[in-house]
Structure 1
């Protein structure tokens, strides 16, 4: 049966996959990005990302898949869940989780890309 909330997003970030993987593996990131959810790591996929079991306001699964592409990575996000208990309607939850995720992933993108102009390759790390 298909969950009532089935979201996905793909965002290209000019950053090293190892940096992104470490960021999303951090429990503080999960609490900050999804404060109404409890995410339990189901599978740590290393540079490929993390899969979680979701509890709290929603019950289901979530995943960040990091796909290497050119000088960065595509951050694929999946959230497949149903509202728990007396939570809001699925439509409102879908909209809220979509908006909140996009705002956070673009904040991360801006921070990691350090104002790099579009089309300009990532600079090597400073030595």
Structure 2
């Protein structure tokens, strides 16, 4: 079992295709996860990206864009091991792994909320998805 296990999801009322430019921009990766080195394992275009992670963590991460209703769910996964020596005392180990997981969960939420804020900027609350033609859902329910 890996020490760092993050799984999160955020609904975004915009077409998944609108997110591909944001999530493929390497400058965003460096801003979202400044201490991690990401190597693309699979670029899935409007379905997301999978990376190999190195640096202070070794493992994998993924952004999966799942079409839902008039938008998509942005799924964020991170499965990794810290490369730094961890404490051996059980209580200290539990505390450190918890701290590391929390830090990565917060970074993931910041990333997903930034994507949501940017893609939904033109949408009014309760209105159709951003980018929907003539007020209709782009592509309809999927």
TM range (shorter): 0.7 to 0.9
Q: Deviations over 1:4-41 (max 9, x none)?
A: 01110010011221121221111111111000100000
Instruction: Determine the structure 1 residue equivalent to 2:5.
Output: 6
Within the alignment, does 1:99 sit opposite 2:98 as a pair?
no
Instruction: Determine the structure 1 residue equivalent to 2:121.
Output: 114
Alignment of 1:21-100 (within 5 A): 21-86=20-85, 89-100=96-107
Q: Secondary structure of 1:73's match?
A: strand
Structure with bigger gyration radius:
2
Q: Which runs of 5+ in 2 are unaligned?
A: 88-95, 134-142
- Once residues 117 and 106 of structure 2 are traced to their aligned partners in structure 1, the CA distance between those partners, rounded to angstroms, is 17
Do the aligned residues in 1 keep the contact of 2:14 with 2:72 (CA within 8 Å)?
yes
Normalising by the residue count of structure 1, what TM-score does the alignment of the two structures yield? 0.88
Bigger fraction of residues in strand:
1
Normalising by the residue count of structure 2, what TM-score does the alignment of the two structures yield? 0.79
- Once residues 103 and 122 of structure 2 are traced to their aligned partners in structure 1, the CA distance between those partners, rounded to angstroms, is 27
The CA deviation at 1:101 is 1.7
